[in-house]
Chain A
Amino acid sequence: MNMIEFRNVSKIYENDTAALKDINLVIKKGEFVFLVGPSGSGKSTFIKLLIKEISATSGTIFIAGRNVCNLKSSRIPQLRRNIGCIFQDYKLLSDRTVFENIAFALEVIGKPNYIIKAQVPQVLKLVGLYNRMDSYPHQLSGGEQQRVCIARAFANRPPILLADEPTGNLDPATSEGIMKLLSRINIIGTTVVMATHERSIVNAMRKRVVELEQGLIIRDQKRGVYGS
């Protein structure tokens, strides 16, 4: 089953810079895909298009078989509930504990309290932070904060997980831990798309690699490495 499909997708920003040019790409359910390339190559645009933070200038994007380009703005929240997102800067709320940060994400999509109380500890166990539930983000290390971010993205069990430079601020040892976690999430059936420009991580994982350069796909390789 095709989880994500780009058909002739282009994105031209208002200042006439083309971030993506005529992209055709299929990502199947349960795949783990690295999106590599230098900054400005279109990785972030790719991810923003998927969560419809921006709209494609031309072409069609299908997610789980549904065309999301003509999605009404009132349907966007529904789309985003099916896509977990993690970031380089974690985007955690500093005035809330780990538990509250994850609970918040479930609360705002209308999950009832009893489900939140059951799901949050569960997902914290998955990321290995069960005993840090009551800590505040500033009391955690970078790696731990990224785990909270992953827990929040995954709490609702979305079929797709997008990661935009998740290890950008972490040292190699910590990054390895994060990658193990993402692998585990991938193994239980989640489609993972990760944008990165860290060579060692890509090389160690031996997953599908899609390389972008100036808005074009210049390489799509199964079990690939960073540089060709």
Chain B
Amino acid sequence: MSLIFRPKHIFGETFLSLKRNFLMGFTAITTVAITLFIVGVFSIIVYDVQGVLNSIEGQVEIAVYLKDNISNDLKGYLENEIKGWSEVDSVTYVSKDQALEKFKTQNEGSDILKEIQGNPLPASFEIRLKDPQKVEQIALRFVDKDGKSIDGVDEVIYGKSYIRNLFSITAVTGTITLLIIIILLLATMVLIYNTIRLSIYARRKEIEVMKLVGATNWYVRTPFLFEGFFEGFMGAGIAVLLLYFLNKFLFIKGETAIAETMHIKNLAILGSNNIILIAYFGIIVIGGLIGIFSSGIALRRYLKV
């Protein structure tokens, strides 16, 4: 083993080779950097959008507005019925007075308040669901076969298509992003593969002599593997650096805004569970692995030992 890990041999050969094939190496490193940078940016965006959506989902409510003339019996019956549904997390009854009170605090100082005479606001049940995706299914229970609201209910309000769209948009964006990333990763691998192939070609005479005098296979291979690793690792390093500055000057502002307005705690950069550090670390690991993997394939094809 001591023979394989000769730093002078490995590092010396790697840098000599990078110097020789500067343009190829440079291209490979740049591609890795761009690819992993995009991976990083998407990861942060996806994570944050997911956070925001989860929070919106959590806030998804069904508001069942009651007719003013509803009897207490029917109201009590409805409340018990809703509470009995397994999908329901909680039901809150908001009386006409409470609704007005809430409206007033929400619109404090606004001219609308002066316009209001009496209490035009209906009483309502505010229903929170355990699984926000079932919102439509639940809301339909307040509607009869003809599409009219059931007795005592005036109107049922919920996010409808807007909610559904949010879910499908995130799913589609996720898939497209994944595809782009896969294509970019493949391009990265091809480039690293090519630089390694070129370095093998550039050093074919040395390799021939090495094999002839009995250098071990690993001794011949290691510098090329390291070269691939180095290109992946350097690219990843640059990607992390770019990402760090992007975060520092842009993303962190966006996250601060989201955190302040929507009270979302679990964000990529500001969150307490260090998602961003995991992302940095993951990018470095992916970079290194891609490098080793690509040069490994090149070695298999072009370095018969």
Contacts and interface: CB of A to CB of B under 8 A. Distances in A.
Interface of A: 51, 73-74, 76-82, 85, 91, 93, 104-105, 107-110, 152-153, 156
Contact of B213 (A73, A74, A156): A156
Interface in B280-305: 305
Given A80-B214, A91-B209, A107-B9, 20 more contacts: A74-B216, A76-B214, A77-B215, A77-B217, A79-B214, A81-B213, A82-B214, A85-B212, A91-B208, A104-B206, A105-B213, A108-B214, A108-B215, A108-B219, A109-B214, A109-B215, A110-B2, A110-B3, A153-B213, A156-B213
A91 to B, nearest CB: 6
Number of contact residues on B: which range applies? Answer: 10 to 19
Contacts of A105: 209, 213
A29 B214 CA distance: 21
A93 B213 contact: no
A161 B211 CA distance: 16
Contact of A77 (B9, B208, B209, B214): B214
Contacts of B180: none
A104 B208 CA distance: 12
B205 A91 contact: yes
Given A93-B209, A107-B9, A73 B217 contact: yes
B217 A74 contact: yes
Nearest to B206: A93
A217 B212 CA distance: 27
Nearest to B203: A93
Contact of B212 (A73, A74, A80): A80
A41 B9 CA distance: 41
A78 B217 contact: no
Given A104-B209, A110-B2, A73 B214 contact: no
A82 B3 CA distance: 18
Contacts of A156: 213
A156 B211 CA distance: 14
A51 B212 contact: yes
B213 A109 contact: yes
B98 to A, nearest CB: 81
Contact of B214 (A81, A93, A104): A81
A74 B218 CA distance: 9
A205 to B, nearest CB: 25
A118 B83 CA distance: 92
A115 to B, nearest CB: 14
Determine which residue in B212, B214, B219 has the highest number of CB atoms from chain A within 10 A of its CB, and name it: B214
B204 to A, nearest CB: 11
B205 A73 contact: no
Nearest to B9: A107
B209 A73 contact: no
Contacts of A79: 214
A109 B2 CA distance: 11
A203 B217 CA distance: 41
B257 interface: no
Contact of A80 (B3, B9, B213, B220): B213
Contacts of A110: 2-3, 219
A78 B3 CA distance: 13
B277 interface: no
Interface in B165-210: 205-206, 208-210
- In the A-B complex, the 4 residue pairs with the smallest Cβ-Cβ separation, listed nearest first, are A80-B214, A81-B214, A108-B215, A110-B3
Contact of A108 (B2, B205, B213, B305): B213
Interface in B1-38: 2-3, 9
Contacts of A153: 213
Contacts of A77: 211, 214-217
Contacts of A73: 217, 305
